[in-house]
Chain A
Amino acid sequence: MTDPAIVKDPEKEKRKIKSVSKMKEIMTTYYIEAKTARQNGKKVAWITSGGPVEFLIAMDVIPVYPENHGAMVGASKMGVDLCEKAEAMGYSRDLCSYARVDIACSVTNGGPIGGLPEPDFLVCCNNICGTVLKWYEVAARHYNVPLFILDTPFIHTTFSASARKYVIKQTYEYIDFLEKQCGKKMDFDRLHEVSKLAVAGLRLWQEVLDTAAHKPAPMTAFDAFFHLALIVTLRGTQIAVDYYKQLRDEMKQRIADGIAMVPNEKYRLLWDNLPIWYRTKWLSDKFSSHNACLVGDTYTSAWSGIMDLLDEDNFIETGAVAYSSVYINVSLDIMLETLKKLIKKYDVDGLVMHSNRSCKPYSFGQYDLQKMVMKELKLPTLIIEADMVDARSFSESQIETRIDAFMETLKA
C-alpha cells in the first residue's frame, strides 16, 4: 500500500532539475578521490576559489577548495557550531565565517565530510579578498606546508602596466613552485588542453546562466548556487564540460517545454553577494510565494565574467590578467558597469543585495552601488543584513518583514 504522504506532486516533480543527481554523483566522486589522494600517490593542494586551478589540473594535483567546503558546512547548517569552535580558539566572531568553520574543521575533523584532506601545499590568490591571505597563513602554520601567494593588484581605476608585468611574472613563479612541489616538469601541451577545457567550461557555464534570461526562467539563482560547484572545483576538466553541456541542454529543453522554476513568475530579481547557504530554501520559497524569481546574480557569474579576457592559446599571460580582473577585485564604479549589464540582460524588476558580514570587500560599497542603481536605473533595491554561514546573524522575522515590504512596493 502506498503511503499517501509520499505520493509525489507531479507539478513539483516536473520542475525539478534532473541533472541534480548527476551533479551530486560527480561531487561525491570528487571528494572521495580527494580524500583518498594519498593512498593513490596523488598530491593535494588547497586553492582559493578565484585561483588559477588549471595549472594544478595540468600537473595532476587534486585541488581542494576550503571555500566550497565552507559553503557545504553552511548548507548542512553546521556553521554555528563550527564558528563557535573557532571563536573558542581565539578567532573573533567578526572574521569571515568560511575561514572560521574551515579552521575549526582542520582541528576537529568536523563538518559534513569530516574535514578536508590535508594539503601538500597551498595556493592562495588574493583576487577575491585579503582574508584568504590570512586564512592560508593559518593553514600553512597548522599543516606546516609551503604556501604560494599569487598577488593580484586591486583595480581601482585601471590595471597598470606594472601590475600586468607583476602578475605574469608570478604565473611563471607559480609554475616553478608546482614543478618543485611535484618533482616534475610542467607539460605545456597538457596545460594547453586544460586551458581549452577551462575556457569551454566557462562558456558553457555562462550559457547555463544565460538561459534564465528567458521569461519565465527555467532556473533561478538558487539553482545556480548549487550548480556552480563544478566551475569552481573541476574547471579545466572534461567532466565539467560534459556536465554543463547536459545542464544547458536540460535548461533549453525546459524552455522549449515551457517549464518555469517559479510557477507564476511575475517579478524578476537580481541577487548580489554570496548566498545565505543555510537559508536558500527558505528564501527561495519566500520569493516564490510573491511570484518572484531570482533570475541572476553577481556571484555565480563572477567566474565566467572574465572568459572574454582569456585566450586559451596564450593562457599563461591572458590568464594572469583575467584572474586579476574578477568582479570583486575591481572598484565600485567598475562593478556598477557589470551590474548594469546583468540588470539589462535578465530584464529584472529589482535588486536584492545580501550585506554579508563575512565578506567585507563584497559588502562595503553596496550602499553606494544601491544608490547608483536607484538613481541611474530607477530600479527598486533591497538590502538584507545576514551572513553566508553563521546563522546567528540571520534574523528571520526582520528579513521576512523587509522582503514582504519590498515586494509590496514592486507590486504597487
Chain B
Amino acid sequence: MEVLDKIKRISNEPYLYASNLKQVAGKPIVGNFCSYTPEELIYAADGVPFRLFGTKNDILLADAHLQTYCCSLVRGGLEDALKGNLSFLDGAVFPHTCDSIQRLSDIWRLNAGFAFHIDVVLPVKLDTQSARTYMIDVLNDCKSDLESALNTRITEEKLWQSIRLYNRLRQTLGEIYEMRSNDPDSISSSDLYHVIKASMIMDRDECLALLTALRDELKQKVNDRTLNKNKRIILSGGICNHPDIYTALEESGAEVIWDDLCTGTRYFEGEIEELGDPIEAIADRYLTRIVCPAKYLTVTARGENLVRLVKDRNASGVIFMFLKFCDPHSFDYPYLKQFLDDAGVPNILLEVEEQLPSDAQLKTRFETFVDMID
C-alpha cells in the first residue's frame, strides 16, 4: 500500500521529515512530549506540533544534566536536543505532567537554546469547576504566548478551523483503530503504531489526507467476520516507541487490538464540541477524556476504564508497558493489576528502558503470558 509506505517512511525518519517540512513549507515546528499539548492552538498559529520520543541511542550529553534514575524519555529527549538533532525545532511547549518533565522543562529552557519555550502549567486535578476555569485561563495564556512566539494572530476563525481539522483527524484515527479491533488482519499493529506516530509528527493537513486515504483503503479490506484467531490484548501505559513488541506478540499468538496509551487512544479520544467558545471547547475535551496517571479525576477512574475497555473490546488480557522510573504509572500499577485480577483478566508488566529486552526473552515472556490466557 502506497499510503502506508509513505506513513512508515515518515514514522521511521521523523527528523528528516520535519527538516524538509520546515525548509519546503517554511512552517515553524513546535516540539512537545505530551498528549495534553494544546495542538489545536499550535496549528491555529500556523505551527506544526511535533511529538518527541527521545533517542534509543547512548545517552552522553544528557548525563551531565540528569541522573540515571530518570526515565529514558526525558533523558533521551534532552540528549537529542543537546546533540543538535532537533535543530529543525523553533521551540517547545511543555504542558505540566510529572515531576521529571517539570524539571526537564527547566533544564531544556536553560540549555537547549531554541527560540522560544512555553510552559503550560495545566491543573493536575480535572474534577472541579475551578480547575476547569483555571484550565481555560491557562489555555488562553498559552494562546497569547504562542502568538508572540510565532508572531501571528490566532483568530477565532483560525481556531475553529483547527478544531474542525483535529476532530476529523481524531475521528479518522478512531475509525482505523475500530477496523483493526474488528478485524486484526486489516492492518497489523506495528503498522498502526506507525500510523499513530506519524499523526503526531506530520503536517496535519497532509496527515488528514493520508489518514482518509488509508481508512478508505482499509474499508475495502476489513472482514466483518475476522479469521484472525489470535488472543486479543490491550496495551496499557505511557508511550510506546517499540514496534518490535507488536511483532513479537503476534509471533506468540496474540494481537494488540486496543490500547490505553499516551501515544495511542489518549491522543485521539474525545471530540471537541464545535460550539460556544473555542478555548472552552478545547478545555472540555481534556476534562472528559480518560486521564493520564499524572492527572486526577477520581481515585479509581483509570482502573474502571481499563476493566471496561477489556469488556468492550472483547479482550482476553492486558499488557502493562511503561518506562522504568515512570512514577505516575508505577504508582497506579498495583491497583490497576488488582482491578484486572478481580475481574479475572490475565495481565503482565513490561518495564522498558531505552532498549527492549532481547527478542528471545520477549518472546518467551509473551508465550508464557499467552499460555495463561484460556
The finding on whether chains A and B are genuine partners in a shared complex, rather than unrelated, reads: yes
Cβ contacts under 8 Å, B104 to chain A? 364
Binds A, one of B25-33, B123-131, B198-206: B123-131
9-residue interface stretch from A5-13, A72-80, A157-165: A157-165
CA distance A263 to B60 in the complex (A): 44
- Give Cα distance in the complex from A89 to B332, angstroms: 12
Q: Are A169 and B121 within 8 A (Cβ)?
A: no
Closest to B294 in A: A130
Produce 1/0 per residue, A360-379, CB < 8 A to B: 11011111100000000000
Q: Which of the residues B110, B121, B335, B351 comes within 8 Å of A332, measured between beta carbons?
A: B110
* Interface assignment of B109: CB less than 8 Å from any CB of chain A: yes
Residue of B nearest to A159 (CB): B121
B114 at the interface (CB under 8 A from A): no
B227 touches A (CB below 8 Å): no
B128/A173 in contact, CB under 8 A: yes
In contact, A154 and B121 (Cβ under 8 angstroms): yes
Query: Could you tell me if A156 and B106 are in contact, using CB atoms closer than 8 angstroms?
Result: yes
CB-nearest residue of chain B to A96: B327
Residue B64 interfacial (CB < 8 Å):
yes
Chain A residues with Cβ under 8 A from B330's Cβ? 91-92, 94-95
Per-residue contact bits, chain B 316-343, to A (CB 8 Å; 1 contact, 0 not): 0000000011011011111101000000
CA gap between A303 and B346 in the complex, in Å? 46
Contacting pair B130 A361 (CB below 8 A): no
**Bound complex: CA of A332 vs CA of B66, how far in Å?**
13
Residue of B nearest to A162 (CB): B137
- Of the listed stretches B93-101, B178-186, B238-246, B360-368, name the one at the interface; the rest are far from the partner chain: B93-101
Q: Is B220 engaged at the interface, CB distance under 8 Å to the other chain? A: no
* A115 CB within 8 Å of chain B: no
A130 and B296 contact, CB distance less than 8 A: no
A170: which B residues are within 8 A, CB to CB? 130
Which residues of chain A are near B325, meaning CB under 8 Å?
94
Chain B residue at minimum C-beta to C-beta distance from A170: B130
From B66, B102, B324, A154 is in contact (CB under 8 Å) with B102
Check if B3 is an interface residue, CB within 8 A of chain A. Answer: no
CB of A284 closer than 8 Å to a CB of B: no
Kindly identify which residue among B66, B332, B337 contacts A134, using a CB–CB cutoff of 8 Å: B332
Are A364 and B332 in contact, with the CB atoms below 8 A? no
- Is the C-beta of B152 less than 8 angstroms from some C-beta in chain A? no
**Whole-angstrom CA separation of A47 from B55 in the bound complex:** 39
A363 with B111: CB separation less than 8 A: no
Query: Which of A95, A126, A154 is in CB contact (< 8 Å) with B331?
Result: A95
Which residues on the B side are within 8 Å of A166 (C-beta)?
123, 130-131, 133-134, 137
Partner pick for A360 among B131, B324, B327, CB 8 A cutoff = B327
Name B's interface SS. helix
User: Which residue of A has the minimal Cβ distance to B97?
Assistant: A130
- Do A149 and B137 touch across chains, with their CB atoms under 8 A apart? no
Interface size on B, residues (CB 8 A): 51
Judged by a CB distance under 8 angstroms, whether B148 is at the interface is: no
Contact B130 A156 (CB under 8 A): no
Beta-carbon contact of B334 and A151 below 8 Å: no
In the complex, the answer to whether A160 meets B141 with C-beta atoms within 8 Å is yes
Closest Cβ of chain B to A124, distance in Å, is: 9
CA distance A149 to B125 in the complex (A): 8
A355 at the interface (CB under 8 A from B): yes
Interface of chain B residues 281 through 328 with chain A (CB within 8 A): 293-294, 296, 299-300, 324-325, 327-328
B124/A130 in contact, CB under 8 A: yes
Residue among B104, B299, B300 with the most chain A CB within 10 A?
B299
Verify if A138 is at the interface (C-beta below 8 Å from B).
yes
Contact of B103 among A89, A91, A332 (CB under 8 A): A332
Which residue from chain B places its CB closest to the CB of A91 in the assembled complex? B334
Q: Is the CB of A134 within 8 A of B65?
A: no
**Residue in A129, A138, A162, A365 whose CB lies within 8 Å of B106:** A365
Within 8 A of B (CB), among A345-401: 355, 357, 360-361, 363-368, 385
CB-based contact A367/B327 at 8 Å: no
Q: What residues of chain A lie closer than 8 Å to B138, measured between beta carbons?
A: 160, 162
Contacts known (A162-B137, A363-B67); A154 close to B296, Cβ less than 8 A:
no
Known: A133-B124, A332-B110. A89 touches B70 (CB 8 A): no
- Cβ of B98 and Cβ of A130 under 8 Å apart? yes
Contacts A332-B110, A355-B67, A368-B65; A135 near B331 (Cβ below 8 A): yes
Q: Knowing A156-B121, A166-B137, A170-B130 are in contact, say whether A364-B103 is a contact too (CB < 8 A).
A: yes
A333 contacts partner chain B, Cβ-Cβ < 8 Å? yes
Would you call B324 and A94 a contact (CB within 8 A)?
A: yes
A332 touches B96 (CB 8 A): no
Contacts of A126 in B (CB 8 A): 124
A137 in complex: contacting residue of B97, B296, B333, CB < 8 Å = B296
CB contact under 8 A between A151 and B327, given known A156-B119, A173-B130, A355-B67: no
Closest 4 A/B residue pairs (Cβ): A162-B137, A90-B334, A134-B331, A364-B103
11 contacts between A and B (CB under 8 A): A90-B337, A91-B330, A91-B334, A94-B330, A130-B102, A135-B331, A153-B121, A154-B119, A156-B109, A165-B133, A332-B106
Binding site for B on A (CB under 8 A): 89-92, 94-96, 99, 126, 129-131, 133-135, 137-138, 140-141, 147, 149, 151, 153-154, 156-157, 160, 162-163, 165-166, 169-170, 173, 331-333, 355, 357, 360-361, 363-368, 385
Instruction: Write the residues of chain B forming the contact surface with A, with a CB cutoff of 8 angstroms.
Output: 64-67, 69-70, 96-100, 102-107, 109-111, 119, 121, 123-125, 128, 130-131, 133-134, 137-138, 140-141, 293-294, 296, 299-300, 324-325, 327-328, 330-335, 337, 351
